[in-house]
Structure 1
Amino acid sequence: MHFIITDARMARSHAIHLSGTRLVSALVTLSLVLMLMAAGLYHWVFLKGARERWPVVGTLVRFVVHDEMEQRDRFMRENLDAMARRLGEMQARMLQLDALGERVGSLAGVSPQELHVNTARGGALVEGRPLSLQEVKGTLDDLDQLTGERTDLLTVMESRLIDQRLKKMMVPTQVPVSNAPIGSRFGWRIDPFTGRQALHTGLDYQAVVGSPIVAAAGGIVVTAELHPEYGNMVEIDHGNGLVTRYGHASKLLVKKGDLIKRGQQIALVGTTGRSTGPHLHFEVLVQGVQQDPQKFLAGGGSVPAMPAPAAPQHVAAMVLPPDHRPH
């Protein structure tokens, strides 16, 4: 495309040649310039009209602002409704957690009153009407406080349950020799060495030499030595004045100061010390007084407080270490 430009007197002329690419570029540039000018003019007119409150422009501005406000309110309402539904679900779960906490608390021996926890608290949610932002915020604050209280309560209950479990594990309820019949039981009998009435202070489990002896409960070994009457003897302290004694072993597998778990092998059956045959002599002492081990083995973890049996009347009673003749 050729353009010829001349002056008014036709004295001079100037020819301009535009190719297809140059022509397209020029049109695009011109279009952009016009668009920018139109946008600037539109923006200036609306700003000036809004500031000076021109009737037509003011109406258009109010319409646009109103539409934007409606969209924003609709968006906020949808989000508030979604949050309200979630809060309702959280409150329902909190009620379930309250019921579970009360059941677990009864097992752990903890009541909500111990922590001044109010289990009757609900929330600010009201069915059938939309909630305001302040109501949702208030409900969230209530749930946050309630969650903290439940956390404290469950922490105490966990501590109580762990304490109960540890105490139960420290009570001698496991038979120290498996599949072994009881020869002599706890109580008064005729001592085979002296022929006199004497208190047999434990249980005798008949077993072959070398049979494993296990701890009836967890604890700490306080004695592991050769005793002149009990032979190779192990004593385990379970706390709270509770001690178990294992006598006449052929071999000791633990030493003083060892930490023992329930069911851990501690010795082997033998016939050392004051004994007439291979067996385990098993005793339970509470505050240094021998008790009937069967009361513990059958108690399932409870600690019976029982006095030592009284001596029979008209008989000279004597308490001797057991001869432990199995029969």
Structure 2
Amino acid sequence: MNIILVSRKRGQSRMVSPWLLLPVFVVLVATLSGVGYLGYQHLRPKATVIIDQNASRVWLNRIEQQAAEVDKTRIYTEEQINALRIRLAELQARLTRLDALGERLVDVASLDQGEFDFSLPPAVGGPESDSFDYQPPDFVHILDELAAQIGNREQQLRVLDSLLGDRKIQNETFVAGRPIQRGWMSSRYGYRNDPFSGNLAWHEGVDFAGKNGSDIVAVASGVVTWASTRSGYGELVEINHGNGYVTRYAHCDEILVEVGDVVKKADIIALMGSTGRSTGPHVHFEVIINGKSVDPAKYINRVARF
């Protein structure tokens, strides 16, 4: 097959073999194919990348940081809970001491046990009022307020305990009563006829006669300052009661205390005898205030404090 080419200018025709146009056709097809491929590549939708490697590293770092923060928060929370446990234990111990102190005050003050029973919670009550939504407050703040209240009450109870203790000490050291449990007054305070010479002489105490070996008791609490023999007194016990008060118990058959002993009111300190300048079993009893002897009668007849 031949291809006829016609010229526009001259109007002449020319026969051309198709094999001569084959290279041109090949070049044209190749060119069109390349243009088409490039257009396809340009117009083809690109593949979507969800996450790249850098973004993955960033997220992994954030996850690790958050995990570390969670661990720190957990450790901090455990420390706070342990601190609260310790605080509660301290408050419970302080409340226990307050209960013990309250029971002691009840005993010291001789109050009715049923009126102040520290083993039971305080009795409360009253009619119901309009309810409202309760908002739980900060429990740490509540613990601080409770601790402050306990501290104030401890201070008040210490003051009360001190006052009651002082009152009890004053009652214990209050000189009152007889130095014997059994016996009778055989000689009074002041001038009398001396039993040995018959002459008028000053007697600085009172005598209580009784059975040999009878109990001699302290008329008030105090500290023993003498427990031995003294000229004229025989076996003598001397007790200092504080505030300038001293009592003496003479002519004892046996002394049952030593110097430095703390004795309580009504404790047995010696046994009645007739040692020293004596005519028979009795106890010579003296009351001395600020170094000066006074008539023991008003202390013997005193009503003891309670």
TM-score by length of 2: 0.50
TM-score by length of 1: 0.47
